[in-house]
Structure 1
């Protein structure tokens, strides 16, 4: 009789765990943040992720209220990300690649043309500004001698 009561108590305790919610933290997630040019987060942007050499999507979803979307790659290689942000005047689509290494970490990713050429544009702007100041000063010296 006591053994039957112990077994019944164990079974009741095990069934209580069946309705719980469990979680664990997993390393290796890749996060993408979608923003407007003024660094304002874009929520509800459609994101489609393609695994290396795949034509069907690996996962699809929408950005959260902070413009974030994360996924867990299951292999290394070059992953394709397509971001589609709808607006009143049509869709804005960004398509870029992320290279994932063997440790499931981001090795490199395609940056926007603005980010890629920012240093070149900065140096060019600095040189043109200096040239403009030199020309301005030379013209002022000529005007004061008359």
Structure 2
């Protein structure tokens, strides 16, 4: 009798695991963060990912409340990303490429033009500021 109760309890416990939720953490996800120019996260932006040399989307979804979206590439190469941020004055569209290496890591990606030219703009701003200070001192001496 005790054996039947013991076996019944084991079977009951095993069947309970069939209704559980399981998860595992997998390396290799590629994350994208969508923000406004003032670094405020943009939620609900539509993101469409295209595998290398594919015309149909690999995956599609929306950014979360923190502006994040992630996907797991299944091949290396040049992946295309399209971002669509709707607004009351029309959609804001971005289209760029991400190069994934054979280890499924980001090798490179196209940066926003602002990021590409930030150093040049910073140096120009610095030089203009110094020039403005020199002109200010020269005009004070004349006055």
* Bin for the TM-score computed over the shorter chain: 0.7 to 0.9
Are residue 129 (structure 1) and residue 124 (structure 2) matched?
no
Of 88-97 and 33-42, deviating more is 33-42
TM-score, normalised by the number of residues in structure 1: 0.86
Deviations 1:75-121 (A, max 9, x none): 11111110000000000001111111111011111110000000011
**Could you say what secondary structure the match of 1:54 adopts?**
coil
Structure with max Cα Rg:
1
Q: Is the partner of 1:114 in helix, strand or coil? A: helix
Aligned length: 143
Unaligned regions of 5+ residues in structure 1, if any? none
Displacement of 1:4 in angstroms is 8.6
CA RMSD of aligned residues (A): 2.1
Give the whole-Å Cα distance in 2 for the aligned partners of 1:102 and 1:40. Answer: 33
In the other structure, the counterpart of 1:58 is 58
Other-structure match for 2:87 = 87
* TM-score in terms of structure 2 length: 0.88
